[in-house]
Amino acid sequence: MPRYCYVNGRFTPHNQGAVHIEDRGYQFADGVYEVVTVADGKLVDEEGHMARLDRSLKELRMPAPMKRAVLQLKMRELIRLNGLTDGLVYMQVTRGVAPRNHAFPAEDTPPALVMTTKRMDFASMRKFTDGVSVVTRPDLRWARCDIKTVSLLPNCLAKQEAYEAGAYEAWLVKENGEVTEGSSSNAWIVTADGKLITRPPTNEILNGITRRTIITLAAEEGLTFEERAFSVDEAHAAAECFVSSATSFVTPVVKVDDAVIGDGSPGPLSRKLLDAYKDYIAGRRDRAA
């Protein structure tokens, strides 16, 4: 089956998709994006992702490329064209095409929209059963990490260092030793007394849609939860750790830097939340708000 993408009003073969050389996303990283999981042909947490896209656009004073309902129809058509059952939809909105100038172009410049899909076999991913390792690296990003922009170079550099260290993810750390989040995920620990900890959603982290769902699921499971910063030392000494994102779900972390977490295998609370999340995306429990 041929693979299709969506580029500025047209569905086109993926290998023919192209944007203008003066697209501001290319020249200035002047754009935002969303990644929505597709499970069994259904979009997971769709409304949450759409609301966050609207917020990101508003924070950058960027108009929406089309009404939300129309965009959702375009997403579904792309999923249908690509025969996607499990995977993700990636969408990116930039401020559009204009002669290169740091200042915003004329207000009537139409924003640019591209969408692609990617197949993923979630059921066979060993990270869920075996766990992963993370390394800690300095957080060098800008001060508005709550906006999901395409300006991801510091994240890419951290992820590359993790890859070169044989790790799945890099946890980004402030000068005071506090973990903010991962290069492409939110960071969580479980304390020795069973308390679930993750950083509150300020401008220093992206308020993950999966993160918000996990908080709801944790409450439904009766788990003790606290939103606060935690340090690298706390992570090293934690009973359990995990990361979350649209495609990581709840991925157990079994090693942070050189510190083995727990007994070196996914812990019971991480497994419980992963099972709850899988039930959630499969529609076997009520959708979280």
The matching CATH number, chosen from 3.30.70.2500, 2.40.10.120, 3.40.50.10490, 3.20.10.10, for 127-281 is 3.20.10.10
Mean pLDDT of the chain: 97
Interval 13-28: pLDDT, tens: 999 999 999 999 999 9
Nearest Cα residue to 152 out of 281, 32, 1, 272: 32
Check whether 289 has a pLDDT greater than 80: no
Check whether 144 has a pLDDT greater than 50: yes
- Report residue 192 as tokens: 């020795």
Model confidence band, residue 2 (pLDDT cutoffs 50, 70, 90): confident
CATH of domain 4-120: 3.30.470.10
**Other beta carbons less than 10 A from residue 126's beta carbon:** 8
Whether the Cβ atoms of residue 49 and residue 27 lie closer than 8 Å to each other: no
Please, is 156 exposed, middle or buried when counting C-beta atoms within 10 Å of its C-beta (0-12, 13-18, 19+)? Answer: exposed
Distances (CA, A) of 230 to 173, 187, 237, 238, 252: 10, 10, 11, 10, 17
Check whether 177 has a pLDDT greater than 60: yes
> Average pLDDT, stretch 30-51?
98
Task: Give the helix ranges, DSSP H, for the chain.
Answer: 24-28, 46-59, 68-81, 127-130, 153-164, 209-220, 232-237, 268-281
**Residues in Cβ contact with 237 at an 8 Å cutoff, skipping those fewer than 6 apart:** 192, 259
Which residues are marked as active site?
148
Distance of CA 252 to the CA centre of its chain: 16
Q: What is the pTM of this model?
A: 0.95
**Ordered DSSP codes for 90-104:** EEEEE--B-SS-SS-
Q: Report DSSP state, residue 23.
A: B
Residue 112 and residue 115: Cα distance in Å, rounded? 10
- Report residue 249 as tokens: 């779900």
Interval 49-68: pLDDT, tens: 999 999 999 999 999 999 99
Interval 86-128: pLDDT, tens: 999 999 999 999 999 999 999 999 999 999 999 999 999 999 9
* Stretch(es) of the chain classified as CATH 3.30.470.10: 4-120
Q: Tell me, what's the pLDDT at 213?
A: 97
- Report residue 281 as tokens: 């995306």
* Stretch(es) of the chain classified as CATH 3.20.10.10: 127-281
Interval 202-227: pLDDT, tens: 999 999 999 999 999 999 999 999 99
Model confidence band, residue 284 (pLDDT cutoffs 50, 70, 90): confident
Find tokens 């197949």 and name the residue.
Answer: 119
Q: What burial letters (b/e) apply to 181-205, b meaning 16+ CB within 10 Å?
A: bbbbbbbbbbbeeeebbbbebeebb
Q: Tell me, what's the pLDDT at 286?
A: 60
Q: Report DSSP state, residue 108.
A: T
Whether the Cβ atoms of residue 172 and residue 158 lie closer than 8 Å to each other: yes
Whether the Cβ atoms of residue 262 and residue 239 lie closer than 8 Å to each other: yes
